[in-house]
Structure 1
Amino acid sequence: MSKSRGLQEPSFLILTSLAHEPQHGYGIITDVERISQGEVRLRAGTLYAALDRLQSEGLIAEDREEIVDGRLRRYYRLTGEGGLRLAEEAARLQRNARTAVTRLRTRQAGGIA
């Protein structure tokens, strides 16, 4: 595994959303809100800046475009590199969460945290 820095939460959730299937911007926004149980609500400006950055890093790519009601709808997909980065980040978060839970249990039991 590489020693890349952790992903910011919006990027992590966007990659998680695209791990399911290619999606367009509005689909990503609604999926991220669902995944985060309403905790993260991406604005269009934040989303498209993140999509540009993730695309320049090779973590996502354009999948296809279509015209719906006269408007361009661009779909994005997770790349192989993006899937690896998402897996690394998920594993890192799991390790950190396990450590936190273990230390909290130790503390609650009266041990050294």
Structure 2
Amino acid sequence: MTEPAFLVLTALADQPRHGYGIVQEVERLSGGRTLLKIGSLYGVLDRLTGDELVALDREEVWQGRLRRYYRLTESGARALEKEAARLAENAEHARGRLRARYAEGTA
């Protein structure tokens, strides 16, 4: 799973959001390291929708423009949980190797 896909799923984990809301939440979640452009976002959303990890929640007109809200599906929640566990396991392996390196005095 790509980092943008992981962050989009994470952004949708607590509530449905519209496109710009997802962009803002991804920026906040990543501490400003991931700045999705709207075109990139909709490419990610198309893939996630095609994989049935997110779904269209609703549409509403706001200031004369159509806003589409997306939500995390149950499959999406399971995929996010699996990816979060995989990343945590990889991070723990890296931390363990670094601890061993410093314990051996190799710095």
TM-score (norm 1): 0.92
Q: Which amino acid aligns with 2:98?
A: L
**What is the aligned counterpart of 1:16 among 10, 21, 37?**
10
CA distance in 2, matches of 1:57, 1:67: 27
CA distance in 2, matches of 1:20, 1:97: 24
Matches within 5 A, 1:66-105: 66-105=60-99
Alignment RMSD (CA, Å): 1.1
- Residue 44 of structure 1 pairs with residue 24 of structure 2: no
**Structure 1's 103 and 111: CA in aligned 2 closer, same or farther, altered over 3 A?**
farther
Q: Secondary structure at the match of 1:13?
A: helix
Query: Percent same amino acid among aligned pairs?
Result: 56
1:4-56 CA deviation, whole Å, 9 max, x = no partner? xxx10000000000001000000000000000000000001100010011000
CA distance in 1, matches of 2:89, 2:22: 27
- What residue is the counterpart of 2:104 in the other structure? 110
Moved over 6 A (4+): none
Structure 1 gaps of 5+ residues are 1-6
CA distance in 1, matches of 2:24, 2:105: 43
CA distance in 2, matches of 1:29, 1:37: 12
Alignment size in residue pairs: 106
1:41-78 CA deviation, whole Å, 9 max, x = no partner? 00011000100110000000000000001000000000
CA distance in 1, matches of 2:35, 2:80: 20
TM-score (norm 2): 0.97
